[in-house]
Amino acid sequence: MENIVNAVDSGEALARDIGAVVRIGAVPSMLKMICEETGMGFAAVARVTDATWTACAVLDKVGFGLKPGGQLQLHSTLCFESRAARLAIVIDDFTQSDKYRDHHTPQIYGLRSYISVPIVLPGGEYFGNLCAIDARPAAVSDPKIVRMFEVFANLIGMQLDSEQRQLSTESQLIRERETATLREQFIAVLGHDLRSPLSAVSATAELLSRRQTEPDIAAIGHRLKRSALRMARLIDDVMDFARGRMGSGMVIALNDELDLGVHLRAVVDELCMTYPSRVVDCAISVDGPARCDLARLQQLMSNLLANAFTHGSPEAPVVVRAAVDSGTLVLSVSNGGEPIPSQVLQRVFEPYWRPKTSAPGGGLGLGLYICKEIVEAHGGTLEVCSSINDGTCFTARVPLEAGKAL
C-alpha cells in the first residue's frame, strides 16, 4: 500500500493531475459561478488521496492564501471524511450544525459555511473534491446549489477520464512505434549480416552442381542452389521492407532500357529452371526503349511468378503476359487453383500477411507487398482478381516514364 500511495502522491503524479485540471477550460468558469451562486469567497478543485490534499484550481476572493499546487494537512480537512464516505458534505453554518459544531476543521480555518462534493471518474476512481468555503454562513444546502456542484463534479470527472484515456492511447502508440522501429532496424541488420554466409553457401552450391561425373553430388548442388536463391529473395524482401518503413518508401532509379522484354523473359526462364515440373505459358511483347527501374521490374516479375508457383494448382499452367499499351507496361501473371475469398482479397498486399492455408516455411508474406511498392513507386497500379472459373490473376500497370527517381 505504501508504494501505491507514494506513486500517487509523488511530485510528478501531482503535477500531472494539476495539469489535467488546468487543461479543462471550463473549470475557471465553474468556480466563478460557484462563488456567485453561493456568495462564498473561496472555491477549489482539489486532488485528494489517502495521504494528501492538493489544490489543482482555485478562485480565492477572500485572501485564504492557497494557490494551485498548494497543500493542506489532509486530516485537517473535511474532504478526508468526504473521500472515506464518498458522500457530499454540506454545511450552511458550522455553529448551527449538531454534527460539525465542534469539528476541528472550522476551528483551524475559521469557517462558518462549507460544501464539498466528490469527483469520481466514470471507472470508479476517486480523484478529489469540488469544494467551497467561507467565513460567513451561506445557504449551500439549497437543492439547486447541491445539484450544481454535483453536475460540475461529474463533468470534471468525465473530462479527466477522457484525458487519461487519450494519454494512455498516445503512450501506447508511441511505444508501438518505438517497438516497430527497433524491430525493423533489427531485421535490416540481420538481413545485411546474412548475405555473407549466404554467398558462401551459393558458391559451394555452384561448385557441387558442376560435379557432372558425380550425378548425386550435382543434384545436391542444384537443390542447394535453389534453396540459396530462395533465401536471397527472402533477404531482399526483408531489406526492401525495412528500408521502406524506416525511410520514405521505396525509391527507384529510372534508366532508359532497350531490352526490357528480354530481361523479363530471363526472369521467367530462371524460375522455370527452379520449378522444372511447372508449365508456364509465357508471351512477352515489349519492344522499343522503356524508362524504368529494370532491377525492380525484374523483382516484380520474379515475386509474382514465384507467388503463382507457390499458391497455384500444380496441374494448371501459369500464364504470363507482358505488353506495352500507350506507354504503359501491362504485366499479368495468372494461376489456377482455389480462388482467394473476396473478404480477404485485398489483404494479400499487406506486409507479413499469409493465407491460413499457406504451408509452414512458405515465406514471410512480403513478396506481394514489395510488388505493390515497386508498382506504386513507378506511378502505377497493381490489382488482383480471383474466381473459380478464371483462377487468380495479378495485373500490374506501370507507366514507363514516371516514378520517384533517385
- Mean pLDDT (the chain, rounded): 86
Kindly report the CA angle at 85 between 83 and 86, in degrees rounded to 5?
60
Same domain (yes/no): 34, 86: yes
Range of weakest confidence among 72-86, 226-240, 294-308: 226-240
Same domain (yes/no): 12, 132: yes
Task: Tell me the three state secondary structure of residue 57.
Answer: strand
pLDDT band for 363, please (50, 70, 90 cuts). low
* CATH number of domain containing 198: 1.10.287
Same domain (yes/no): 303, 330: yes
Is residue 38 within 8 Å of 140, Cβ to Cβ?
yes
> C-alpha 204: how far from its chain's center?
43
Of all helices (H) and strands (E), which one includes residue 406?
Answer: none
pLDDT the model gives residue 242: 65
Task: Count how many domains the chain has.
Answer: 3
Domain contains 165: yes
- Inform me whether the pLDDT recorded for 6 exceeds 50: no
Q: What gap in Å lies between CA 373 and CA 237, rounded to an integer? A: 11
Going by C-alpha positions, the residue among 18, 8, 140, 157 that lies closest to residue 78 is 140
* CATH number of domain containing 99: 3.30.450.40
Q: What gap in Å lies between CA 165 and CA 186, rounded to an integer? A: 31
Task: Tell me the three state secondary structure of residue 79.
Answer: helix
Domain contains 153: yes
Residue 216 to residues 201, 204, 208, 225, Cα–Cα distance (Å): 18, 15, 10, 14
Domain ends where: 170, 201, 222?
Answer: 170
Is residue 232 within 8 Å of 306, Cβ to Cβ?
no
pLDDT band for 3, please (50, 70, 90 cuts). very low
Domain ends where: 211, 227, 246?
Answer: 246
Buried (b) or exposed (e) across 227-240, using 16+ Cβ within 10 A?
ebbebbbbbbbbbb
Going by C-alpha positions, the residue among 364, 16, 342 that lies closest to residue 171 is 16
The whole-number average pLDDT for the span 214-236 is: 80
C-alpha cell at 384: 488482383
Neighbours of 311 (CB within 10 A): 19
pLDDT in tens, 121-149: 998 999 999 999 999 999 999 999 999 99
Range of the domain at 215: 182-246
pLDDT the model gives residue 361: 47
Domain contains 293: yes
Domain contains 176: no
Same domain (yes/no): 37, 163: yes
Buried (b) or exposed (e) across 346-371, using 16+ Cβ within 10 A?
eebbebeebeeeeeeeebebbbbbbb
CA atoms within 13 A on the CB side of 222: 14
- Inform me whether the pLDDT recorded for 164 exceeds 90: no
Same domain (yes/no): 33, 127: yes
Same domain (yes/no): 103, 143: yes
Same domain (yes/no): 298, 264: yes
Domain contains 23: yes
- Inform me whether the pLDDT recorded for 247 exceeds 60: no
Domain contains 109: yes
For residue 269, the one-letter residue type is D
- Inform me whether the pLDDT recorded for 355 exceeds 70: no
- Between 36 and 175, residue with greater pLDDT: 36
* CATH number of domain containing 327: 3.30.565.10
Most confidently modeled of 186-200, 233-247, 309-323? 309-323
> Which burial class, exposed, middle or buried, applies to 397 when counting CB atoms under 10 A from its CB (0-12, 13-18, 19+)?
middle
Percent of the chain with pLDDT over 70: 85
Domain ends where: 209, 229, 246?
Answer: 246
Owner of C-alpha cell 520449378: 275
- Inform me whether the pLDDT recorded for 298 exceeds 50: yes
Same domain (yes/no): 311, 336: yes
Same domain (yes/no): 234, 275: no
Same domain (yes/no): 236, 313: no
CA atoms within 13 A on the CB side of 5: 7
Domain contains 405: no
Q: What gap in Å lies between CA 307 and CA 386, rounded to an integer? A: 14
Same domain (yes/no): 162, 214: no
Same domain (yes/no): 217, 316: no
Range of weakest confidence among 38-42, 235-239, 372-376: 235-239
Domain contains 240: yes
Q: What gap in Å lies between CA 262 and CA 385, rounded to an integer? A: 27
